[in-house]
Amino acid sequence: MGLDQGPWLMPLAISIVKFMVLFVVLLQLPPILIWLERRAPALMQRRRGPNRVGLFKWRLWGLLQTLADAIKLIFKEESVPASAHKLLFQLAPVLGLIPALLVMASIPLGPDLLIAGQRISLNIVRLNIGFLFILAISSIAVYSVTLSGWASNNKFALLGSMRASAQMISYEISLGLSLVPMVLIYGSFDLYDIVNGQVQLWAWGIFLAPLSFVLFLICMFAETNRAPFDLAEGESELVAGFHVEFGSTKFALFYLSEYINMFALSLLCAIFFFGGWQIPFVSHEQLQQLLASQNLASLCGLAVLLIKAAFFMWLYIWVRWTIPRFRYDQLMTLGWKFMLPLGLVNVMVTALVLTTRF
């Protein structure tokens, strides 16, 4: 007797297709964002930025510059230091990419679609403990940073990996504490329930827990090693930090992981504090009645969420070229002496307020 393929084959096929689509979309993030990282500061500083690479006479505003860089990285010769730990050196970039993809796989991007009578969620894995899953998986990324510095057998890389891992561990605590009040307010670990609790504009997380938003926003920059917290890659001190010995595709994987993490945190910021895919003053049910289509309403919700996330992606670039880099002692002081106590006080005050209300 063969196995009954009905109950599990279709969901498995749908999950595989969704993962392939998600992965292809995420691969486009680094070229677009690197182009923005070059063009945006050029506009701020009244200079041209990259504008030479193009097709024949069409320069296309330098859009193809990152494509040329990607081709160069793919075909560049691989090199492994003679004294490096070969297995861990090869494994370190992959260990950074896997947690980023797993986090993205659990983030809902909009209301469910209805195709051929099949309800399809706009995330690969739907979990009722999505908040805990994201925190648990994202903490694994520190192994990639630590192993990359240690396996390189380079003192500068090791210093960079130690600084980066200490920074990531320090700010993961504040990141988790900043989201605990959101769980208390909306009464669920499920990201769908948190978004559905923000139908009304005044129920958005930014209004109910503004301190949580400030803490989360700061942790976004620290967790992704972005300026002004890019101490792990202090070029003047560490010669590019933990990935100094990596080149070609391995170096590209570090970049891909960084931009995926930036995108994931931008989505989470929109979901927890800005209503997710909710449109102000228009509920999903009202939008569905207006468009006379559940799928069109879901796609509009997806577009709204992506627009909100795009603002925070732009904020990453804006802050990078606005605020100077912190010293390392300032970074750790901010994390342990200010943000951690504020996070604990924020959780206690939120719990007390909710207790007195109910």
Strand partners, 55: 58
The pLDDT tens digits of the residues spanning 15-67 come to 888 999 999 999 888 888 888 888 888 888 888 888 877 777 777 778 888 88
5 has pLDDT over 70: no
194, 182 Cβ separation under 8 angstroms: yes
Say if residue 243's pLDDT is above 50.
yes
Using the predicted structure, report yes or no on whether residue 237 has a pLDDT greater than 70: no
Of these ranges, 30-34, 134-138, 307-311, the one predicted with the greatest mean pLDDT is 307-311
Task: Pick the closest to residue 199 from 121, 286, 107 (CA basis).
Answer: 286
Peptide bond just before 228 cis, omega within 30 deg? yes
Q: 55-69, 129-143, 314-328: lowest mean pLDDT where?
A: 55-69
Give dist(CA 81, CA 154) in Å, integer.
9
Q: How far is CA 192 from CA 3, 15, 287, in A?
A: 33, 18, 18
**In the predicted model, is pLDDT for residue 85 greater than 70?**
yes
Looking at residue 3, what is its pLDDT? 45
Among 61-75, 76-90, 162-176, whose mean pLDDT is lowest?
61-75
Q: What percent of the chain has pLDDT over 70?
A: 96
Record the pTM: 0.92
pLDDT digits (tens, 9 = 90+) for 218-232: 999 998 888 888 877
The yes-or-no verdict on residue 166 having pLDDT over 80 is yes
**Arithmetic mean of pLDDT, 283-289:** 88
Q: Is the pLDDT of residue 6 over 80?
A: no
State the pLDDT confidence band at 2, using cuts at 50, 70 and 90. very low
Q: Flag whether pLDDT at 1 surpasses 50.
A: no
Mean pLDDT for 111-118 is 84
Bridge-partner residues for 58, per DSSP? 55
pLDDT at 248: 85
Residue 196's pLDDT band (cuts 50, 70, 90): very high
pLDDT above 90 covers what percent of the chain?
Answer: 46
Spatial distance between the Cα atoms of 258 and 316, rounded to a whole number of angstroms: 12
| Amino acid at site 213 | F
For all residues of the chain together, what is the average pLDDT? 88
What is the torsional sign of CA 273, 277, 281, 284? Answer: negative
pLDDT digits (tens, 9 = 90+) for 63-79: 888 888 888 888 888 88
Nearest Cα neighbor of 84 from 132, 29, 150, 27 is: 150
Q: What are the helix (H) ranges across the chain?
A: 6-27, 29-44, 64-75, 86-106, 130-138, 141-151, 155-186, 191-196, 205-208, 210-223, 235-238, 248-273, 284-291, 294-320, 328-333, 340-357
Structure tokens at 175: 């990141």
- When pLDDT is cut at 50, 70 and 90, the band that residue 356 belongs to is confident
pLDDT surpassing 70 at residue 358: no
In angstroms, the Cα distances linking 110 to 71, 97, 107, 116, 196 are 34, 24, 9, 19, 11
